[in-house]
Amino acid sequence: MADDLKIYTYPDPILRAKAEPIVNIDGGTQSLINGMGERMYKAPGIGLAAPQVGLSKRLIVYDLSPKNGAKNLSVLINPEIVLAEGDVVYEEACLSVIDFSAEVKRRAKVKVRGVDRDGNPLDIEAEGLLAICLQHEIDHLNGVLFIDHISPLKRTLYNKKLKKMMKKPS
């Protein structure tokens, strides 16, 4: 299924839409989770949100395991940040924002609530890379990209660079 899942890139409008909650975790949802996991590993990335593959659903997958270690796919359905504290700056990139990374200020610690792929409630208390990843992916569910957290000047420079890249023949 990973081969049929295309990663949509900025400025595609799907990335700006607020994703819809998942009400039934059915076979289609399980298939989507598996496909998103495969697509994320193939990219390669550490996280992927459903809007990034063109689906307006509140679903994220992530795996912070070392690249050469065993895979440990984590799934969060309808995640929301319920507590956040402190600040941290971290260099971020995104599968949907091609050829760009920047330092982003995020919350240092977060508590995220959602359900797993079987519908079981989950509360995750995170800091470090996991906190950054969860905030980044949940932003996608709200139509927010990491470039929205950088200065207007850096964003303008990236947009100019992107326009030049899009004009070049492949």
Task: Output the DSSP codes for 17-29.
Answer: SPPBPP----HHH
Nearest CA to 92 out of 165, 140, 150 is that of: 150
Report pLDDT for 129: 96
Average pLDDT, the chain: 95
Distance CA 85, CA 123 (A): 16
Report pLDDT for 130: 98
Provide the residue ranges of all domains of the chain, joining segments of one domain with +. 2-167
pLDDT digits (tens, 9 = 90+) for 30-68: 999 999 999 999 999 999 999 999 999 999 999 999 877
pLDDT digits (tens, 9 = 90+) for 79-109: 999 999 999 999 999 999 999 999 999 999 9
pLDDT at 1 over 60: no
Distance CA 170, CA 152 (A): 29
For residue 147, the one-letter residue type is I
Report pLDDT for 3: 61
pLDDT at 168 over 90: no
The CATH T-level fold of domain 2-167 is Peptide Deformylase (3.90.45)
Given the residues 80, 103, 127, 137, select the one marked as catalytic.
137
Q: Taking residues 12-18, report their average pLDDT.
A: 97
Among this protein's residues, is 137 annotated catalytic? yes
Q: Taking residues 143-160, report their average pLDDT.
A: 95
Nearest CA to 19 out of 53, 46, 44, 43 is that of: 53
Q: Under a CB-based contact definition with an 8 Å cutoff, are residues 112 and 80 in contact? A: yes
Report pLDDT for 64: 94
